[in-house]
C-alpha cells in the first residue's frame, strides 16, 4: 500500500523531497536493481503529465523526487495528483507514494 503524502511546489523554483523506504520493522529496504518513475497530472485521467526526476539511493533505501526550476516554471499553479512507482529487477511494479501536489504561483520572473 502506498504512502499518502501531499507536496507543495513553488512555481519557478527547484523542488526536491526524499522518501525513506522502510519495511514493516522500520528497517531500510535495499533498493538495488530498482528503477523509479513519478508524474503529476491535473486529474487522474489527464493525458498531459509533468515528470519528476527519480533518484534511488539503493543501499540507503531512499528515493528522491525532484524537479528543476525550468520545469516547475512551466506548470500552471493549482492542484494536481501525483504518484511514484518503483519497478524491481524482476519487473514487479509497486506504488511507493501518492497524493496531491499544490503548485503555488511565481511572482518574480
Q: Are strands 15-20 and 93-104 parallel, antiparallel or unpaired?
A: unpaired
Sort 67 into a burial class: Cβ within 10 Å, 0-12 / 13-18 / 19+: buried
Chain mean pLDDT for the chain: 96
pLDDT of residue 55: 98
pTM (two decimals) = 0.93
Per-residue pLDDT reduced to its tens digit, 30-51: 999 999 999 999 999 999 999 9
Q: Which fold has domain 3-104?
A: Immunoglobulin-like (2.60.40)
Each domain of the chain, given as residue ranges in start order, spans 3-104
Q: Report the alpha-carbon distance of residue 11 to residue 60 in Å, rounded.
A: 30
Nine-digit cell at 91? 519487473
Chain segment 59-87, per-residue pLDDT in tens: 999 999 999 999 999 999 999 999 999 99
Three-state secondary-structure class, residue 107: coil
Radius of gyration (C-alpha) of the chain in whole angstroms: 14
Predicted local distance difference test score (pLDDT) of residue 40: 98
Amino acid at each position: 500500500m502506498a504512502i499518502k503524502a501531499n507536496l507543495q511546489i513553488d512555481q519557478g523554483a527547484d523542488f526536491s523531497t526524499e522518501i525513506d523506504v522502510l519495511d514493516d520493522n522500520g528497517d531500510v529496504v535495499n533498493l538495488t536493481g530498482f528503477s523509479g518513475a513519478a508524474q503529476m497530472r491535473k486529474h487522474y485521467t489527464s493525458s498531459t503529465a509533468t515528470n519528476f526526476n527519480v533518484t534511488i539511493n539503493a543501499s540507503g533505501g531512499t528515493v528522491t523526487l525532484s524537479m528543476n526550476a525550468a520545469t516547475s516554471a512551466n506548470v500552471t499553479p493549482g492542484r494536481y495528483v501525483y504518484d511514484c512507482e518503483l519497478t524491481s529487477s524482476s519487473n514487479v511494479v509497486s506504488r511507493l507514494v501518492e497524493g496531491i501536489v499544490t503548485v503555488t504561483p511565481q511572482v518574480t520572473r
